Structure 1
Amino acid sequence: MGEALAGVDRDIVYSICEWGKNQPWEWGRNVGGHLWRATDDLVAKWRADPDEFGLGIADVLDRMADIDAAAAHGPGGWNDPDMLQIGNGPESGQSEHEPVDVQRPLTEAEQRTHFAFWCLLAAPLMIGVDLTSLSDFDRELLTNERLLAIDQDPLGIQGTPDRRGGDEEIWSKRLQDGGAAVAFHNRGASEREISTHVSAVDVRNSADRYRVCDCWTGNEWETSGPLAMTVKPRDTAIVRVTPQ
């Protein structure tokens, strides 16, 4: 298939889908693929029930953390965790004041986590919903320029976990400017402060001071190294750290 598509006199994106069963990140480029599914199908749930079809957002994050695929990811060949579920579900985008154990549809916090991580993973961003049905929340989320810049960073590096286990996770993704995007994810049932240090994440260029930008609010501040964010249940804070 790759050879046939390469012989066509127009640009075609070759997407390989065998749901990651045979480690396509190891051979996808060699057969002409531009992206390959690394997981089972994603559905609009936080966690999928074992006896139901598909994977939820948290399930896919676990899968992407566990497989050894990041090294194969980059310009011209991309690990694909499946299309976005932002806006899907009969009541998608419901108030985050709903109980934390509400799993269907996705809450605003869960959708923020979904989009933040797909951008941190440098994933192909394909909207999987009728665009005419998007809410204001959905539209604002999908057009967040700070997150889109992280996804589209020219290095094309896939973000990876720096800390996992328990209710707190920290992931980071090195960026072309020598800094990094850092995600603070709360898997617990209560709000918490999650902290780390610039030296513990994928910042390539060290400095005495770093500029930190909150990718949700646009607020900026400086740090000598410590990083800490207060994060709601199932939500994700994501910042861009740039050496000064």
Structure 2
Amino acid sequence: MHANWKRIAFFATVLASFATPLTPAQHLAPTPPMGWNSWDSYGTTVRESEVKANTDAMAGLKRFGWEYIVVDIQWYEPNAKAHGYRAGAQLAMDSNGRLVPAANRFPSAKDGAGFKQLATYVHSKGLKFGIHIMRGIPRQAVAQNTPIRGTALHAADVADRNSVCTWNTDMYGVDMTKPGAQAYYDSLVAMYASWGVDFIKADDMLRPYHDAEIEGLHKAIVHSRRPIVLSLSPGPAPVDKVASLRANAQMWRIEDDLWDDWKSVRNMASRMENWWQLVEPGHWPDADMLPLGHIGIRAERGDDRQSRLTQDEQKTMMTLWGVARSPLMFGGDLATLDPFTRSLLTNVDVLAVNQHGNGNKLAYKEKDLRIWTARTTKGGASDYIAMINLGDQPIELDLPWASIGITNPNKPLRDTWTGTTLPASPTLHIRLNPHASMLLSSKSK
């Protein structure tokens, strides 16, 4: 009898594996996700026509690896304004307490269609569709005590009124110890899956670290059976939570919002130094969006502008995000992309070292100088050296190759930003302006 029960248990396990397909994290995001996010340009106010315009523009960048179109926060706020949030705003919501797109901003969402038509449009261009959500359950749903779909319970049964976001008044936390809590998150993701969502950026998750709701959202994605990439915000994520982060998400922010000023970029560079040894396929510490090109159209901070970073600083940002293997989420308006910014997004070496780098590491750190090394093997093996000046003074020096772990260089190097070939040299010669960088490549033997 005991042996029969073992056999029954074995076959039950096999059948369960077919019923719930496995979606390992490395299959969801085998390389750092690349895409566009509406936040830096449109803040809380992006409209369907603007999402479509950026989708059309990104379709032309798809061959370089750009693929996600992500609608950021408050797509459910009919009267959203630039430069912040409206406290206690009336939100678009269904009868089960789930926020839905505001139809005055997303006309295809009328009559309960949600984001299904917009996601279909994005998919028709060969791209993937994502949305931003806030942790928890709408305060509006709790006030109305809406039912939780598929249960006899209601919003007030699962809400934690003491768990609130410090910078946005839309939500209460969900007490995951309460009956119905997981069912609420399951109902959310089931709705997103029915729309065709491929990517969820979940905010107010990491600071403080909301273990139970992170796990609940991850379980809901698994239960949906749709392969949805999960990104957690805002940073800084706790380094000591890396095991939990890897178990539940594919991306997590390592710092708060980054904007177009050098101090913010330099601070992010220091955060990368805490995380580079923890990067692994499928799990990507996220240095935040790239505030490059045309931003601030109706954003949270600043007015309509081109990025305030200098061209050297913008190249340094791309070089850093590349060698650190951060996800690449562009924040500028793609529909009005200028030639210089386009050159940043299409530098094949920066993208190669980000998407296909092997053993990317911080090889040298002294005062304001940082040197990263990496190797790629896809499309022919290449070695890379990124030299970065984080300081306000020029740097010029020669370093022994051994100081960055290279024992036999003896080959020319190509500056991937200018295309210039540098002759073989007995030392690594470094000459960098303030905030500038070089990304050198050579073919591996």
Could you tell me which amino acid in structure 1 is paired with residue 413 of structure 2? Answer: V
The 8 Å contact of residues 182 and 238 in structure 1, kept in 2 or not, is answered as: yes
Q: Does 1:63 find its partner at 2:271?
A: yes
Q: Partners in 1 of 2:375 and 2:421 — Cα distance?
A: 19
Of residues 306, 315, 333, the one that matches 1:92 is: 306
Of residues 272, 279, 282, the one that matches 1:76 is: 282
Deviations 1:191-238 (A, max 9, x none): 4424334322255xx546334221112233452652223222211111
Corresponding position of 1:96: none
The 8 Å contact of residues 357 and 375 in structure 2, kept in 1 or not, is answered as: no
Corresponding position of 1:140: 343
The 8 Å contact of residues 209 and 243 in structure 1, kept in 2 or not, is answered as: no
Corresponding position of 1:101: none
Q: Partners in 2 of 1:2 and 1:225 — Cα distance?
A: 52
| Backbone CA RMSD of aligned residues | 2.5
Q: Partners in 2 of 1:26 and 1:240 — Cα distance?
A: 33
Of residues 202, 216, 233, the one that matches 2:417 is: 216
Instruction: Map residues 99-114 of structure 1 onto 2, 5 A cutoff.
Output: 105-114=308-317
Could you tell me which amino acid in structure 1 is paired with residue 279 of structure 2? Answer: H
Could you tell me which amino acid in structure 1 is paired with residue 268 of structure 2? Answer: V
Corresponding position of 1:198: 401
Q: Partners in 2 of 1:38 and 1:161 — Cα distance?
A: 21
The structural deviation recorded for 1:179 is 5.5
Corresponding position of 2:57: none
Q: Partners in 2 of 1:126 and 1:7 — Cα distance?
A: 27
Residue 194 to residue 122, structure 1, CA distance change in 2 (3 Å): farther
The 8 Å contact of residues 353 and 375 in structure 2, kept in 1 or not, is answered as: no
Q: Partners in 1 of 2:356 and 2:341 — Cα distance?
A: 22
Could you tell me which amino acid in structure 1 is paired with residue 315 of structure 2? Answer: R
Of residues 385, 396, 405, the one that matches 1:182 is: 385
The number of residues matched between the two structures is 218
Q: Partners in 2 of 1:210 and 1:27 — Cα distance?
A: 43
Q: Partners in 1 of 2:409 and 2:431 — Cα distance?
A: 24
Corresponding position of 1:99: none
Q: Partners in 2 of 1:154 and 1:170 — Cα distance?
A: 15
Could you tell me which amino acid in structure 2 is paired with residue 64 of structure 1? Answer: M
The 8 Å contact of residues 80 and 123 in structure 1, kept in 2 or not, is answered as: yes
The structural deviation recorded for 1:241 is 3.8
Q: Partners in 2 of 1:113 and 1:164 — Cα distance?
A: 17
SS at match of 1:36: strand
The structural deviation recorded for 1:174 is 4.2
Which moves more between the two structures, 106-115 or 170-179?
A: 170-179
Corresponding position of 1:29: 246
After TM superposition, the score normalised by the length of structure 2 is 0.45
Q: Does 1:122 find its partner at 2:325?
A: yes
Q: Partners in 2 of 1:225 and 1:242 — Cα distance?
A: 18
Larger Rg: 2
Gaps of 5+ in 2: 1-216, 297-303
Corresponding position of 2:172: none
The 8 Å contact of residues 213 and 239 in structure 1, kept in 2 or not, is answered as: yes
The 8 Å contact of residues 169 and 185 in structure 1, kept in 2 or not, is answered as: yes
The structural deviation recorded for 1:182 is 1.6
Could you tell me which amino acid in structure 2 is paired with residue 85 of structure 1? Answer: P
Could you tell me which amino acid in structure 1 is paired with residue 364 of structure 2? Answer: D
The 8 Å contact of residues 253 and 285 in structure 2, kept in 1 or not, is answered as: yes
Residue 202 to residue 128, structure 1, CA distance change in 2 (3 Å): farther
The structural deviation recorded for 1:154 is 5.2
Could you tell me which amino acid in structure 2 is paired with residue 234 of structure 1? Answer: H
Corresponding position of 2:258: 42
Q: Partners in 1 of 2:365 and 2:357 — Cα distance?
A: 25
Of residues 434, 437, 442, the one that matches 1:233 is: 434
SS at match of 2:356: coil
Identity %, equivalent residues: 28
Corresponding position of 1:162: 364
SS at match of 2:226: coil
The 8 Å contact of residues 357 and 374 in structure 2, kept in 1 or not, is answered as: no
Residue 117 to residue 172, structure 1, CA distance change in 2 (3 Å): same
The 8 Å contact of residues 153 and 175 in structure 1, kept in 2 or not, is answered as: yes
Q: Partners in 1 of 2:285 and 2:360 — Cα distance?
A: 8
Q: Partners in 2 of 1:207 and 1:147 — Cα distance?
A: 24
The structural deviation recorded for 1:172 is 2.4
